[in-house]
Amino acid sequence: MIEQSLFLIKPNAVMRGHVGQIITMLEDQGFAIVKMKLFRFDEELARIFYAEHIGKEFYPRLQRFMCSGNTVALLLERENAIKVLRELIGDLSPEKRKPGTIRALYGDGVTENGAHASDSLESAKRETEVIFGA
């Protein structure tokens, strides 16, 4: 089934100049770019996007990090996009990341992990609307 997923290249990967390499990895896995946007989170947008994490211990650090620099958002499409993208991005936890995944190559820890990918079709729809509008 053809699916769409939101994918974010986070500020640390953007600042280090890894946007091109990451997009190449995505295209090599058969993802089509439907939309793309360069932007910077502000506190309000971060609160909306990461609403489920507000009140958790790590949220202030996450919010500061996401507002620290530019982010590249991509709306991606392909067969089984959610599953394939979640495998390609790699684990949140650095010690569990498989070599060659985006987070293993371009992540700098748990929060500064280089990338975000929607974890379900419902999340993809909500996150896409937050970033690109309805």
- With a CB cutoff of 8 Å and minimum separation 6, the contacts of 41 are 49, 66, 67, 71
* Cα 65–chain centre separation: 13
Amino acid, single-letter form, for residue 30:
G
116 flagged as catalytic: yes
Query: What DSSP character marks residue 113?
Result: -
Q: Would you say 60 and 94 are in contact if contact means Cβ atoms under 8 Å apart?
A: no
23 three-class SS:
helix
Report CA torsion sign: 48, 6, 119, 89. Answer: negative
Q: Could you say which of 81, 116, 127, 131 is catalytic?
A: 116
Annotated catalytic residues are: 116
